[in-house]
Structure 1
Amino acid sequence: MKNLINNWKSISTSLFFAMIAVIPFVAVFVYFTLPAFEQKVVESKKQNPRIAVDSVFNILATLQYRVENKELTLAQAQENAQTLIKNLRYSSSEYFWINDSKPTMIMHPIKSELNGKDISEMKDPTGKKIFVEMTNVATSHEEGGYVDYMWPKPNKKDPQPKVSFVKLFKPWGWIVGSGVYMDDIHADVAESRNQNLTVFFLAGLVSLAILLATTIRQLYKVIIPIQNAMKSLHQESTDLSVTAGQLATTSDTIEQSTSTQSSSMEQTSAALVQINSMIEKTKDQAKQSQGTVDQVKESAQKGFSTVSELSSLLTSITQFSNGAATQINQNLLKMNNIEKIIIEIGEKTKAIDEIVFQTKLLSFNASVEAARAGESGKGFSVVAEEIGKLARLSGDTAKEISQIIAASSDEVSAISKEIKQNTESLFSEINGRVMEGSNFAQDCNKVLQQVLEISNEAGVQSQGILTSTAEISLGSNEISKAMNTIESTTRDNLQSVQITAGHSKKITEQSHSLERLVDQLKKIA
């Protein structure tokens, strides 16, 4: 915990720059990605009336088919259509209305007081002739079109902005329309925006937590060991400086002692004891430095292993994501097969309609034959009548099945498209997050490589210290030899002083090199 507090500045700096780096991505999401997504939501909501009107056209086409086959009169078909469409709803409250090209309102499920009335002069608060505009759009566009206007919501008085899709059913001259209110669309867009922002915010918090955990982990595995190594190296450089000063002092003492041979011997012996002690101390410190360097190397190697595990984990996530995408695509293929089966059932229903028609014809012929038979054919007439009723019931059931099949086919197709769009967006985001994690792992790998290079350099420095101590030991041996040759005390002592001074200079240079290395490591840490 103490190390964490001492390095809090480094952690906060890393988090600050990480948040600065995220700002462009947030700006792109808020000002580009999110508005584009919201626009797609608006366009999707506007497509709902079009899809709904096309579904109603399938009903009208079915009734027109029955009129052409003499199963229904035109008046019966239109009456059935009005009854059915009047009760149809989608999105819980959206409805359909029918007017002709005069325009006259044929059927309005909410404002029934308009039915049968001329609506050519009806205007919204902006002065737009609503149904005249709808008639112009429907008659001039074979596939139908959209009209913007203001219209009150059900059970409300104040008009609200609304966009409706209208389309002309040419065989009957009917214009079928349905729409959505813009405030409902805006509410859905706002809800979608809030959901996206919430997910984005939560993802940001998770990323920040991961970054904080990774930074702290890096602190304990890399930075703190390096700081400890720097402290040790700094202490060693200080000790070397002290040793160099002591060697210089000893050299001066030896030089002064040459005036008196006896006192020179005593001072030289004392100096040798000090030199040997310092040599051993320097060797120990150099070995400790080498051990610290090895620890830093080991920590760097562990860091490499951790980064490799992270990369493997990201690869596993990518493989899982791809597998999930494959499974979802297989499910979409199954839904397409379901849609095909529904269409085939619809084809079979047409065959049932033909059988019903033939049954009705058979019932009619049976009734005729029963009438010809007179009194003896009454029982047969009852049977023929029951067959006719059964045929009509079968026809009604086939019609309902056709309607259910049509609705089911459209719904399955819509669900399949929506699932495909959502999964493509989700896996695109997952792949983006995995790519960010891979980049971060590469950055960690580079930092660990730098730490390893610094550790190698520190090892070279430690080896240099050991070499210097060996040279100092050699000088001490030469001084011992000089003591054994009393005859050349003065000359040998002067030579020993020069050798010792040279070694002292080398030690001083080595200590300065260590101090510079410590300063460089402090900057890196």
Structure 2
Amino acid sequence: MVSLKDKIKYFFSASVYSILSSAVFVVLLFAVTLPSINSTARNGKNESIKVAIHNAYSMVKYLYDESQAGKISEQEAKTYAKNLLQSLRYDGKNYFFVSDKNLNVVAHGADPYKVGNNMAKYQDGKGTYLYKEFLKIGLEKGEGPLTYYRARKKESDIIEKTSYIKYFAPWGWVIGTGVYLDDVKVATFEARKSTLIGLMICVAIALGLSLWNAHSMYANFISPIKNVIRNLKAEYVELERIANNINSSSRQILDVSSKQTDSVDNVAAAITEIKSMVDSTRDNADRSSGLAKHTANTSNESKEKILRLVHSFDIIKKDNEEVIQVIRDNSIQLNDISNTINDIQEKTEVISDIVFQTKLLSFNASVEAARAGEHGKGFSVVAEEIGGLAKVSGESAIEIATIIEESTRRVKELTDMTTKTVENLVQVTEKDLLEGQKLMADCRDALEELVGQSMESSSMCNEILGALSEQENGIADVNTSINTLNESQWQLKSSQETSAREVEDLVKKSEQIKTAVEKLEKIAA
């Protein structure tokens, strides 16, 4: 049976050991936690600039892919990338810089006048050739951090600074950004100061409670210690419950933060795609506007040609009417010729009658000459000659009559055919001319409508271009907000991961407190 005196001695010994353990715990916590704070802050800085470089790299790669797809030229892609990195900012003031394999500055967000300068001999505050080291990291590792020392301003002291580099091989570009680490030291010092003060307060409170408990135990040991054990048990049970709830909530927040980070990345990619679509739409609108203007000009020219063609149709119609009239006049003249030939045929018949009468007279003269005997021989010769001439004249008259008859037939056929052909030609020509004039009028109306539509289309294209300019400004603002939100999400995720680890440590410590309380219960019993 342990005596009360032994229990009191045991209590005081336990109190001394508890105070010493608290002191050791404070020292160990101070030694372990504070370097972790400094390391966490530095890692947070490095992670933030790494994420920024990856985002900038993604934008450059997107422009490179656009040039490879033939949507823009490689020179345009480089110009867009240079201007983008020249103007891009994150966390308000941090910027990007780009150099090539020859250590020439391609873009510099803080000092544009450095663009084009060769930085082979550029050194930091401790003699490190920065741009050579940047190129070395890019060629050997592809990407990585570099710590060096620079002054914020020319007249100030050098400060530790860290940069992150990523090499874009297709163009031979070294893309980088950096941040100063003096604020990390300030934050670490403040954390050390706050932690030390808090720990000292905790130690003082623990020491005061131990002394008060010792004094109370000295007066009444058993009852108070059981009350303390009950209170501690209730507290550690509540602490365990709270720790588990915090752990669960922290994990949920971490999951939500991860999903939000993924969502922000998806939104950023969507914004980039939208910007590409807007640029493509702007190009199409420019081409459509130019095409509409060209169509309007071409339509006006076509309209003028149609008007000239209508005028030509009128001239053709007039000339055709004159030709038809000439053909009709020729038909009338052919009829006159036919009538003249008929008159000649009638005269030829008269000649045939005269020839017949001459033959008859010649025969009668021959008969009378034969009656006269010797006296009528001379007259007989004359009568024979007259008969021969009459025969020849008769044959000629027959031939003439035949020719005249054939000519009359041909002239009549030609006249009939010409008249019929002219009438058919007049009908067809008038029909074709009317259809041609109608078609020309329809073409003129269609071209006038096309001119109006082309002008309206050009006006609408100009309105679309104005709206696209406003959309581009809005997308630029959204892109800036997305980048800021992306940085915040990464910082929140890092903080949540740290909090989750600390909550797990809190759960473990509650288990340790539970074990200690169980031991106290055994001792108090």
1:193 aligns with 2:115: no
Distance 1:443 1:171, change over 3 A: same
Distance 1:318 1:141, change over 3 A: same
Residue by residue, what CA displacement relative to the aligned partner does 1:189-226 show, whole Å, maximum 9, x if unpaired?
Answer: 3233333333333333343344344334433432xxxx
* Secondary structure in structure 1 of the residue aligned to 2:150: strand
Residue by residue, what CA displacement relative to the aligned partner does 1:238-260 show, whole Å, maximum 9, x if unpaired?
Answer: xxxxxxxxxxxxxxxxxxxxxxx
Name 1:332's counterpart in structure 2: 254
Out of 22-31 and 94-103, give the one that drifted further: 22-31
Name 1:421's counterpart in structure 2: 498
Name 1:57's counterpart in structure 2: 57
* Secondary structure in structure 2 of the residue aligned to 1:64: helix
Name 1:448's counterpart in structure 2: 524
Distance 1:331 1:36, change over 3 A: closer
Distance 2:268 2:112 in 1: 34
Larger radius of gyration: 2
Tell me by how many angstroms 1:346 deviates. 4.2
1:314 is aligned, of 233, 236, 252, to: 236
Distance 2:80 2:273 in 1: 22
- Does the aligned pair in 2 maintain the 1:42–1:189 contact within 8 Å? no
Distance 1:389 1:165 in 2: 40
Name 1:438's counterpart in structure 2: 514
Name 1:153's counterpart in structure 2: 152
User: What residue identity is the alignment partner of 2:191?
Assistant: S
TM-score by length of 2: 0.59
Distance 1:75 1:154, change over 3 A: farther
Distance 1:351 1:168 in 2: 24
Name 2:382's counterpart in structure 1: none
Distance 1:341 1:163, change over 3 A: closer
Distance 2:464 2:476 in 1: 18
Distance 1:216 1:426 in 2: 35
Residue by residue, what CA displacement relative to the aligned partner does 1:446-467 show, whole Å, maximum 9, x if unpaired?
Answer: 4433xxxxxxxxxxxxxxxxxx
Name 2:291's counterpart in structure 1: 368
Distance 1:387 1:63 in 2: 24
What is the CA RMSD across the aligned residues, in angstroms?
A: 3.5
Tell me by how many angstroms 1:175 deviates. 1.4
1:173 aligns with 2:172: yes
* Secondary structure in structure 2 of the residue aligned to 1:54: helix
Distance 1:313 1:148, change over 3 A: closer
Residue by residue, what CA displacement relative to the aligned partner does 1:406-437 show, whole Å, maximum 9, x if unpaired?
Answer: 553453243123213124214513642x3454
User: What residue identity is the alignment partner of 1:368?
Assistant: L
Name 1:383's counterpart in structure 2: 460
Residue by residue, what CA displacement relative to the aligned partner does 1:129-180 show, whole Å, maximum 9, x if unpaired?
Answer: 22112111112222x1223333221454544343322222233332122223
- Does the aligned pair in 1 maintain the 2:49–2:178 contact within 8 Å? yes
User: What residue identity is the alignment partner of 1:18?
Assistant: S
User: What residue identity is the alignment partner of 2:497?
Assistant: K
Distance 1:122 1:62, change over 3 A: same
* Secondary structure in structure 1 of the residue aligned to 2:220: helix
Name 2:482's counterpart in structure 1: 405
Runs of 5+ in structure 2 lacking a partner? 1-7, 301-450
Tell me by how many angstroms 1:372 deviates. 1.9
Distance 1:175 1:347 in 2: 23
- Does the aligned pair in 1 maintain the 2:38–2:184 contact within 8 Å? no
Distance 1:337 1:32 in 2: 32
Alignment of 1:209-288 (within 5 A): 209-222=208-221
- Does the aligned pair in 2 maintain the 1:360–1:391 contact within 8 Å? no
- Does the aligned pair in 2 maintain the 1:166–1:178 contact within 8 Å? yes
Tell me by how many angstroms 1:120 deviates. 0.7
Identity of aligned residues (%): 16
Tell me by how many angstroms 1:94 deviates. 3.5
Distance 1:158 1:305 in 2: 60
- Does the aligned pair in 1 maintain the 2:250–2:499 contact within 8 Å? no
Tell me by how many angstroms 1:97 deviates. 1.7
User: What residue identity is the alignment partner of 2:456?
Assistant: G
1:205 aligns with 2:282: no
Tell me by how many angstroms 1:325 deviates. 1.9
Distance 2:55 2:506 in 1: 35
User: What residue identity is the alignment partner of 2:131?
Assistant: F
Name 1:28's counterpart in structure 2: 28
- Does the aligned pair in 1 maintain the 2:86–2:112 contact within 8 Å? no
Name 1:257's counterpart in structure 2: none
Tell me by how many angstroms 1:112 deviates. 4.2
Number of paired residues?
Answer: 363
- Does the aligned pair in 2 maintain the 1:57–1:169 contact within 8 Å? yes
- Does the aligned pair in 2 maintain the 1:110–1:154 contact within 8 Å? no
* Secondary structure in structure 1 of the residue aligned to 2:121: coil
Distance 1:42 1:363, change over 3 A: closer
Distance 2:268 2:519 in 1: 60
Alignment of 1:464-503 (within 5 A): none
User: What residue identity is the alignment partner of 2:163?
Assistant: S
Distance 2:30 2:242 in 1: 29
Tell me by how many angstroms 1:65 deviates. 4.3
Distance 1:72 1:197, change over 3 A: farther
